[in-house]
Amino acid sequence: MMEVIALDARERFIAAQVALLRERPTIGVEVTIPELAHACAWNIDGQHGDAVGDGSGRAAVEIAWEALNDPGALASRLNADQRFAIVRPDADAFAAVAILWFYGYMLEPVGEEEGIAHRVDMIARADSGPDGSDDLSFQALKAMAADRDLPLESRVVRHFQWLSTGTFTGEYAYRDSLAEKVRELNRLDRQVISLGKIAFISAASPFGVESAYGVADVVVASNPRYQWPTGQVTEKVTICAQSAKLVDFPGLLDELNQHEQESGGVPRWGGNVTSGIIGSPQGGESVLSMREIISLVEKFTR
User: Can you tell me whether residue 190 is helix, strand or coil?
Assistant: helix
Q: What does the pLDDT look like over 191-203, one tens digit per residue?
A: 999 999 999 999 9
Euclidean distance between CA atoms 74 and 276, whole angstroms: 31
pLDDT of residue 129: 66
State the average pLDDT over residues 226-249. 90
pTM of the model: 0.74
pLDDT of residue 53: 78
Query: Where on the phi/psi map is residue 228: left (φ > 0), alpha (ψ -120 to 50), or beta?
Result: beta
Average pLDDT, the chain: 90
| Residue 71: CA count within 13 A, CB half-sphere | 6
Q: Give percent of the chain above pLDDT 90.
A: 64
Q: 83-86 and 26-29: which strand pairing?
A: parallel
Euclidean distance between CA atoms 6 and 8, whole angstroms: 7
Q: Over the range 247-285, which residues count as b (16 or more CB within 10 Å of their CB) and which as e?
A: bbbeebbeebbebbeeeebbbbbbbbbbbbbbbbbbbbb
- Residue 30 banded pLDDT, cuts 50, 70, 90: very high
Residue 24 has pLDDT above 60, yes or no: yes
Q: What does the pLDDT look like over 101-112, one tens digit per residue?
A: 999 989 887 767
State the average pLDDT over residues 149-156. 96
Interacting residues of 63 by C-beta distance below 8 A, sequence separation 6+: 44, 45, 46, 54, 56, 96
* Domain range summary for the chain, segments of one domain joined by +: 3-172, 192-300
Looking at 33-170, list the stretches that DSSP marks H as alpha helix, in order from N- to C-terminal side.
Answer: 34-39, 60-67, 71-75, 91-98, 113-127, 136-145, 152-165
